[in-house]
């Protein structure tokens, strides 16, 4: 078995959002940088992200005359998490978010010209880059490599090298069997979530019944490595619940986004009853669905809705029987195993609310009220969708990994979804990319400051 030895300044374990942003920043600061990526291509969840970026006091907000402040975004994050989020981490996130959007633009990312309202707020704060997450990842990877960072694909970190209580490198293994010993001045754990680690998922993910998106290796390696080095681990029982998905879906597809959009139409539980304003914020939706009998819902649409959507027609799922179809509400209930009379009454009431322009039960906005009048009708069974897990190493505002006594482990950093301290549940689209990109860069900046 061959052993490859490498020397660098900063080692990013994981070539997703945090690792690649960090590597670009490290090179900008004149640090030698290496990125270890377990899979054959970079990106992890970053690759399939929608490319949303939250920020306050951004150039685009100012151009559009949108009044906002960093202080107000800070309050939003803290209130939303019921003050579970760590204030010093949220401060840095909020202070850097607008500047980070500019930094990304400087590195070639093009932002769309709209700012969106996502989450339970009235302030438009969510920006989106052209080409979504894939473009962000591809640009960061290109920039990292063009500026001289080494990216080692198919190379998974196995253990940290610790000398005199200081983390000074990583032992890794390539798929070819080659052993890689890489040493530097600091190691940044950026391995993303643990969605593929059944033991951790079963033990910690609170939304027990779910469909989970898992784009990268996602085995929780960074959490294990941090723990072995003596780190405090936190927040493994937080996960990013985000609307709903069909249980038959293994990963994310364009169809998932279709289901997410469809979910604003009436959704009933196993009792055949609606249970919420279906247009509520996506995280609330996932948790509300989780609280229903068997954590199961049924999105109900008609032929007009099905054929009026540009994404897909769901024909495959209808043919396979995964989506139930019938010409009457009674028959649709029978096909779906729902109580026929209750379900029929629920949809008839709903149609009356649509005609009257007022949802008497849950107050859903008029714009979201479309009656179901054109047969056939469809029932799409859904479970809560979990975008990714979060939680892991406890870090400080310099991305240093902390021990249970609050002291930093020399040489060890972490960024992104293998860290704790940011969430109670998902406060807004655009948060995960900002956290990972900013804290990946902060690690590089701190290592630079120590040289
Ligand atoms: C469908 C979807 C859409 C999303 N859209 C948005 C959005 O629009 N805006 C937003 O802010 N957030 C979004 N998110 C969340 C965002 O993508 C994540 O928060 C972000 O990618 C986390 O970055 P990360 O670097 O921690 O992890 P990842 O980007 O997942 O990267 C982790 C990388 O580490 C690698 N790795 C794991 N273990 C090892 C190991 N032992 N050795 C080497 N490499 C390893 C993985 O293979 C992976 O490539 C979305 C998430 C999903 C699932």
- Of 362, 317, 282, nearest in space to 117 by CA: 282
Residue 180 contacts residue 6 (beta carbons within 8 Å): yes
CA distance 110 to 138: 13
Residue 11 contacts residue 23 (beta carbons within 8 Å): no
Pairing state of beta strands 233-234 and 126-128?
Answer: unpaired
Q: Where in the chain is the domain with CATH 3.50.50.60?
A: 3-238+390-449
Model confidence band, residue 425 (pLDDT cutoffs 50, 70, 90): very high
Around Cβ 118, how many Cβ atoms within 10 Å? 18
* Ligand 1: centre distance to CA 46 (Å): 4
Give the mean pLDDT of 282-311.
91
* Ligand 1: centre distance to CA 199 (Å): 20
CA distance 147 to 169: 22
* Ligand 1: centre distance to CA 162 (Å): 26
* Percent of the chain whose pLDDT exceeds 90: 90
Any idea which of 32-36, 224-228, 250-254, 328-332 has the lowest mean pLDDT? 250-254
* Ligand 1: centre distance to CA 177 (Å): 25
100 CB less than 6 Å from ligand 1? no
Any idea which of 86-90, 283-287, 317-321 has the lowest mean pLDDT? 317-321
* Ligand 1: centre distance to CA 189 (Å): 12
CA distance 73 to 81: 12
Instruction: Return the pLDDT at 318.
Output: 87
- For residue 313, pLDDT beyond 90: no
- Edge-to-edge strand ranges of the sheet holding 166-174: 3-7, 179-183, 166-174, 155-163
Provide the token pair at 184: 């530097």
217 CB less than 6 Å from ligand 1? yes
Q: Where in the chain is the domain with CATH 3.90.700.10?
A: 240-386
**For 377-411, how does the pLDDT look when each residue is reduced to its tens digit (9 = 90+)?**
999 999 999 999 999 999 999 999 999 999 999 99
Give the mean pLDDT of 184-213.
96
* CATH T-level assignment (fold) for domain 3-238+390-449: FAD/NAD(P)-binding domain (3.50.50)
- For residue 256, pLDDT beyond 80: no
**304, exposed or middle or buried, with CB in 10 Å at 0-12, 13-18, 19+?**
middle
Grouping H, G, I as helix, E, B as strand and the rest as coil, residue 434 is: helix
Instruction: Return the pLDDT at 306.
Output: 86
Instruction: Return the pLDDT at 415.
Output: 98
- For residue 255, pLDDT beyond 80: no
Model confidence band, residue 249 (pLDDT cutoffs 50, 70, 90): low
Instruction: Return the pLDDT at 251.
Output: 52
Q: Helices 431-449 and 87-106 sit at what angle, rounded to 10 degrees?
A: 90
137 CB less than 6 Å from ligand 1? no
Nearest CA owner, ligand 1 atom 12: 432
* Ligand 1: centre distance to CA 410 (Å): 25
Architecture of the domain whose range is 240-386: Alpha-Beta Complex (3.90)
- For residue 258, pLDDT beyond 80: no
CA angle (205 as vertex; 397, 137 as ends), nearest 5? 55
Provide the token pair at 189: 């754990």
Model confidence band, residue 307 (pLDDT cutoffs 50, 70, 90): confident
392 CB less than 6 Å from ligand 1? no
119 CB less than 6 Å from ligand 1? no
Provide the token pair at 27: 């090179």
Average pLDDT of the chain, as a whole number: 95
């Amino acid at each position: 078995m061959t052993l490859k030895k490498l020397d660098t300044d900063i080692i990013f374990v994981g070539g997703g959002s945090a690792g690649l942003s960090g590597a670009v920043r490290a090179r900008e600061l004149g640090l030698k940088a290496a990125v270890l990526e377990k899979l054959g291509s970079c990106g992890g969840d970053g690759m399939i992200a929608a490319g949303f970026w939250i920020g306050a006091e951004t150039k685009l907000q100012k151009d559009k005359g949108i009044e906002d402040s960093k202080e107000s975004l800070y309050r939003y994050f803290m209130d939303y998490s019921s003050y579970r989020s760590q204030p010093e981490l949220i401060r840095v996130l909020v202070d850097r978010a607008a500047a980070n959007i500019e930094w990304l633009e400087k590195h070639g990312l093009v932002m769309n010209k709209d700012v969106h309202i996502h989450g339970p707020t009235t302030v438009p704060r969510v920006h989106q880059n052209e080409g979504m997450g894939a473009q962000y990842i591809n640009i960061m990877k290109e920039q990292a490599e063009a500026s001289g960072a080494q990216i080692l694909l198919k190379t998974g970190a196995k253990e940290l090298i610790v000398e005199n209580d200081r983390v000074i490198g990583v032992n890794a293994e390539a798929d070819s069997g080659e052993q890689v010993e890489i040493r530097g001045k600091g190691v940044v754990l950026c391995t993303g979530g643990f969605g593929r680690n059944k033991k951790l998922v079963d033990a910690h993910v609170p939304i027990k019944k779910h469909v989970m998106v898992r784009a990268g290796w996602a085995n929780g390696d960074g959490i294990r490595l941090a723990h072995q080095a003596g780190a405090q681990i936190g927040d493994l029982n937080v996960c990013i619940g985000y609307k709903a998905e069909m249980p038959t879906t293994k990963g994310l597809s364009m169809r998932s986004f279709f289901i997410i959009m469809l979910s604003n139409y009436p959704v009933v539980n196993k009792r055949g009853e609606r249970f919420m304003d279906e247009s509520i914020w996506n995280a609330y939706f996932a948790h509300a669905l989780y609280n229903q009998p068997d954590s199961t819902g049924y999105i109900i649409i008609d032929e007009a809705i099905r054929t009026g959507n540009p994404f897909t027609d769901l024909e495959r799922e209808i043919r396979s029987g995964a989506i139930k179809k019938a010409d009457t509400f009674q028959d649709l209930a029978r096909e779906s195993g729902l109580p026929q009379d209750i379900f029929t009454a629920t949809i008839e009431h709903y149609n009356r609310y649509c005609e009257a322009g007022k949802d008497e039960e849950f107050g859903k906005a008029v714009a979201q009220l479309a009656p179901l009048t054109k047969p056939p009708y469809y029932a799409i069974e859904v479970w809560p969708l979990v975008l990714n897990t979060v939680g892991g190493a406890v870090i400080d505002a310099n991305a240093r990994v902390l021990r249970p006594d609050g002291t930093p482990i020399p040489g060890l950093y972490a960024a992104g979804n293998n860290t704790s301290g940011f969430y109670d549940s998902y406060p807004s689209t655009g948060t995960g990319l900002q956290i990972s990109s900013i804290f990946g860069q902060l690690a590089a900046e701190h290592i630079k400051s120590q040289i």
